[in-house]
Amino acid sequence: MISSDMIMELVRLILYVVGFLAFALFNAAYLTLVERKVASWSQLRPGPIEVGTWGLLQPVADGLKLLGKQILTPEGADLILFKLAPVMVVVPGILCLVTLPFSDTIAPRNFNLGLLMIFSFGAIGVFAILLGGWASNNKYSSIAAARVVAQNIAYEIPMLLVVISLVFVSRTFNLHTIVDQQMGGFWHWNVLNLKASLMMPVAFLIYFICMLAETNRAPFDMVEAESELVAGAFTEYSGMGFGLFFVAEYLNIMVGCCVGTILFLGGWDCPFGLLPGLHWFLIKMYALCFAVIWVRWSFPRTQFYGLLNLSWKILIPFALANLVLTALMLKLFH
C-alpha cells in the first residue's frame, strides 16, 4: 500500500532532483561569468558589462547562442559515441551532488560510502572526454584525448592517497560524519588537524593541485591547450554539444570545491563556531572556486612532461609520506 511516508519521500526526491538540477546548472552557468569577470579584473579591463547590469545576463545570452547553433557531425565520426560523450560528461557532476551534504539538514541522501561514490563517478567524466576526442575523427582531438587520460590517471593517485589518509583519521566514508567531526571552530578543521598528521596543510595543497588537474584547469589544461590544439578534444563539437562540455567543466570545479570544503575546511562550520549553516558552506566553496579561477589567469601552461613529472615525482611521494605519517601517528597516539 502507498503510505504517506512514501508519498512524502517521493515529493522530497522530486524537489531535490529539480532543486539540484537547477542549482547545478545555474552555478555552472554563472561560474562562467565569474571566470570572465575575474579574468578581466586581473587584466585591467571591465569584462562583460553590456548584457544586463554587470553582465549578469551574459550566461543567459551565451546559452541562447549555443542553443541556436547548428549541431554539426564531422564526416567519419562515430555517431553514437559522438552524441553520447557530451551527455556522459555532465552526468557524473550532477550525480555527485546527490551525496554532498550542504548543511546539517540539506543532504539528498546520506550514503555511508559517499566519498567512494564521488571518486567513482569522477572517473566517468574522464572517460567521456576520451570518447568525445576519439569519436570526432580528428587528429587534434585524438592527441588531446590521449593527453587527458594520461593526465587524469597521473593525478587521481595523489588525490586518492590524500583522501585515504583523511579517511584514516575520520574512520568513515560518510561525508556528513566527516563534517560533524570538524565542528566547533577553525582549529578543528581537518586542514589544521596537526594532531592527526603534521602534513595536513600539505595534504590540502596536494588535494587542491590535483583538483586543478582533474578538472583540466590551467595551468594543467593540456586538453584544451588553446594555442596548440585549437580546442583539443572539443574541436569538432558545435552548439550545445560544446556547451555541455563547458558546463561539465564548471560543474566539476564546483563539485571539487564542495568536496574540498567538506573534507578539509569544515563544511558548514563557522570559523569561530558561532552560527554554522548553509551560508558558511557556500562562502567557503565559492572562495575555493575563486582561487581556482585566479590561478588560471596568473600562470602560463606547463609542459606536458612537466605536468606528469609533477604528479609522479613530487605529489605522489609527498602523498605517500602523508599517508605513512598519518598511519604512524594514529598508531602511536590513539
Does the footprint of another protein cover residue 54 (CB under 8 A)?
Answer: no
Of 282, 302, 321, 327, the one binding another protein by CB under 8 A: 302
Cα Rg for the chain, rounded, in angstroms? 21
What gap in Å lies between CA 61 and CA 56, rounded to an integer? 10
What gap in Å lies between CA 198 and CA 51, rounded to an integer? 49
SS3 state of residue 107: coil
Is residue 31 within a helix (H) or strand (E), and if so which, with residue range?
Answer: helix 4-42
Of 72, 171, 303, 328, the one binding another protein by CB under 8 A: 303
Site for another protein in 246-265 (CB under 8 A): none
Does the footprint of another protein cover residue 272 (CB under 8 A)?
Answer: no
Stretch that binds another protein, among 49-57, 68-76, 114-122, 299-307 (CB under 8 A): 299-307
Of 240, 301, 320, 330, the one binding another protein by CB under 8 A: 301
Does the footprint of another protein cover residue 234 (CB under 8 A)?
Answer: no
Q: Contact at 8 Å (CB) between 264 and 189?
A: yes
Stretch that binds another protein, among 201-209, 221-229, 233-241, 282-290 (CB under 8 A): 221-229
Stretch that binds another protein, among 53-61, 79-87, 164-172, 216-224 (CB under 8 A): 216-224
Stretch that binds another protein, among 5-13, 248-256, 274-282, 303-311 (CB under 8 A): 303-311
Of 143, 192, 240, 270, the one binding another protein by CB under 8 A: 143
Q: Contact at 8 Å (CB) between 175 and 113?
A: no
For residues 212 and 285, which CB has a smaller minimum distance to another protein in the complex? Answer: 212
Site for another protein in 88-107 (CB under 8 A): none
What gap in Å lies between CA 127 and CA 120, rounded to an integer? 12
Q: Do you know the residue count of the chain?
A: 334
CA angle at 21 for the pair 15 and 23, rounded to the nearest 5°: 95
Q: Contact at 8 Å (CB) between 103 and 268?
A: yes
Binding mask 4-43 for another protein (x = CB under 8 A): -----------------------------------x--xx
Nearest distance from residue 297's CB to another protein, in Å? 5
Q: Residues with Cβ < 8 Å from 147, sequence gap 6 or more?
A: 222, 223, 232, 304
How many chain residues interact with another protein (CB under 8 A)?
A: 26
Stretch that binds another protein, among 74-82, 125-133, 217-225, 285-293 (CB under 8 A): 217-225
SS3 state of residue 146: helix
Does the footprint of another protein cover residue 313 (CB under 8 A)?
Answer: no
First to last CA, the chain: 50
Kindly report the number of other CB atoms within 10 A of residue 163's CB atom.
Answer: 20
Does the footprint of another protein cover residue 139 (CB under 8 A)?
Answer: yes
For residues 41 and 54, which CB has a smaller minimum distance to another protein in the complex? Answer: 41
Of 3, 45, 68, 334, the one binding another protein by CB under 8 A: 45
Measured CA to CA in angstroms, residue 237 lies from 58, 94, 137, 195, 242 at distances of 21, 21, 11, 50, 5
> Whose CA is closest to 268, among 205, 187, 180, 188?
180
Q: Which residues bind another protein (CB under 8 A)?
A: 39, 42-45, 139-140, 143, 218-219, 221, 225-228, 230, 297-306
